[in-house]
Amino acid sequence: MPNDAQDNDITEEVRADACQLPKRVLMVVTNACEAKNHDRTGVWLEEFAVPYLAFLKEDYMVTVATPTGDIAPVDPASENLIRDIKWNEAKKALNDTMPLDTVDYTVYDAIVLPGGHGSMFDLAKCDALGEIINYFNRHKKLIAAICHGPAGLLPAVKDGIPFVNGRRLTCFTNDEEQVYKKVNMLPFFLEDALKEAGAVLVKENVSAVNVIQDDNLITGQNFQSSETFAKAIIKYLSEND
């Protein structure tokens, strides 16, 4: 005859094992290497490396994907000799990405979109990414994006309503594009595109650290926000097992 006490013990063990499973994070980055004015662009290294290494430190399982599965180029303006040594492990991960359409995104706890102007040229119009964002939102999983990464939120539309509609978020602002002299390389202003899609944009001064959380959406304004952004993601995942 089954023993209820033993059954309860087994159930608790299963639950405990489930809680001990490592978090799985899908990081989606750009393949674009050239901007509108033909300047080189790509991933802004700090926005990828800081969260990526923080996730590894937490023993998360991290998958790096791109729209094509090719090398994710690093924006040369974001490279720094000293930091490159510190971020070498993260930089190597950008050389070996998975094609986004081959990823079983249903097994992940969070999707994270680092920035770099390259994101505005491919992630902003990636239908596969839009489907993934809608899935994560429908299942109340974490969606996070920083700087130009929120461009990847734009393809997520359900029943004609953009995912960002009514959501509080932030991104690299129009003022920051002007100050950093990036206007000529833009296919569009990300701040304007998000507002036009109905987002409630929350911005701070140029280069200020700014991370906004709205339910299961976490966004960061700029590369200066990378560390705070990573900490917010880790905190969310630790509190939402």
Count of domains forming the chain: 1
Bridge pairing between strands 211-214 and 200-201: unpaired
> What percent of the chain has pLDDT above 70?
91
pLDDT for position 3: 53
Bridge pairing between strands 168-169 and 161-162: unpaired
Residue 179: exposed, middle, or buried by beta-carbon count in 10 A (0-12, 13-18, 19+)? Answer: exposed
On whether residue 230 sits in a domain, the answer given is: yes
> What percent of the chain has pLDDT above 90?
88
On whether residue 10 sits in a domain, the answer given is: no
91 token code pair:
């930089």
On whether residue 190 sits in a domain, the answer given is: yes
**Structural domain for 225, as ranges:** 23-239
Higher-confidence residue of 153 and 79: namely: 153
Higher-confidence residue of 63 and 8: namely: 63
On whether residue 12 sits in a domain, the answer given is: no
Q: Residue 20: is its pLDDT beyond 70?
A: yes
Using pLDDT thresholds of 50, 70 and 90, give the confidence band for residue 2: very low
Q: How far apart, in Å, are the Cα atoms of 51 and each of 25, 175, 188, 206, 208?
A: 10, 25, 26, 21, 18
Average pLDDT over residues 159-171: 98
Longest dimension (CA), the chain: 76
On whether residue 164 sits in a domain, the answer given is: yes
Q: How many CA atoms lie within 13 A of 223 on its CB side?
A: 17
**What is the sign of the dihedral through the CA atoms of 40, 190, 142 and 50?**
positive
On whether residue 95 sits in a domain, the answer given is: yes
pLDDT tens, 42-66?
A: 999 999 999 999 999 999 999 999 9
The CATH number of residue 30's host domain is 3.40.50.880
Residue 187: exposed, middle, or buried by beta-carbon count in 10 A (0-12, 13-18, 19+)? Answer: middle
